[in-house]
Amino acid sequence: QTHRSLRPYLIEEAYEVVEAIDQGDPRKLMEELGDLLGQVIFHSRLAAERGRFDVDRAIAVHIAKMERRHPHIFGKTRVDGVRQVLENWEQIKRGERKAAGLPSLHGVPRHLPALLKARRVQEKASRLGFEWESLDQALAAAGKGLAGISRLRARGKRREADRRLGRLLFSLVNLARLLEVDPEDSLRRAADGFAAGFHKMERGLRRRGKSIKEAKRSDIDQLWHSGKRARRERAPR
């Protein structure tokens, strides 16, 4: 095994931890955290066999980083609230990047899921003072992007529409950030809701002896919209 061949398992274990947290199951969370820790130990063991570092060294580097970036806990720095903690954190990281000759937005992992990466880039830019003046500006930018895609599609400019769609998604992540909504969680809930509604619609069609391909569009629409109404009625207000 190599670090690269183990990458999928590390990612998978991290997502299984997230799933256990979302399910609110302490026993499952304990199990999944153990599996994730096993990946940390495995990678550290591989590195130790190549004479690079061991798990003790990895932990020591982590502790040193936390002590350096949290002087209000491990040092004598005084802070007035969470905002100042974040400002100090960013100032310390900015100093580290400057000393290493790195750009201001350095440090966002390249292989993060796209929505999360967009949010992290935007958060960094915002802390540096690059921010919308109002929520209305962000809404207008998203609306402008959607209208632009519609015009390009009408003209048959597919490649340009692809680029515009990326910018639209980036604008929507920005909008979510300003609304203090996690876009990853929001989209995941929407996908789960769609899947649940789709399964219910399929069951309704099967009771009528039909598949989706065989059913009339009116039957599909009726089952789909009745399911949506039921989900809205059950949703917390």
Map out the domains of the chain as residue ranges: 1-69, 73-102, 108-181, 184-234
- Out of 1.10.287.1080, 3.30.930.10, 1.10.3720.10, 3.40.190.10, which CATH number does the structure's domain 108-181 have? 1.10.287.1080
The token pair that represents 137 in the structure block? 């500006």
Shared fold status for 1-69 and 108-181: yes
pLDDT band at 172 (very low <50, low <70, confident <90, very high): very high
**Mean pLDDT, to the nearest integer, of 181-189?**
92
Question: Does the predicted model carry a pTM greater than 0.95?
Answer: no
- Say which residues have a Cβ less than 8 Å from residue 107's Cβ, sequence separation at least 6: 93, 97, 124
pLDDT band at 150 (very low <50, low <70, confident <90, very high): confident
Q: What is the CATH number of domain 1-69?
A: 1.10.287.1080
CA–CA separation, 104 vs 98, rounded Å? 8
Average pLDDT, the chain: 90
pLDDT surpassing 70 at residue 235: no
Residue 17 CA to its chain's centroid (Å): 14
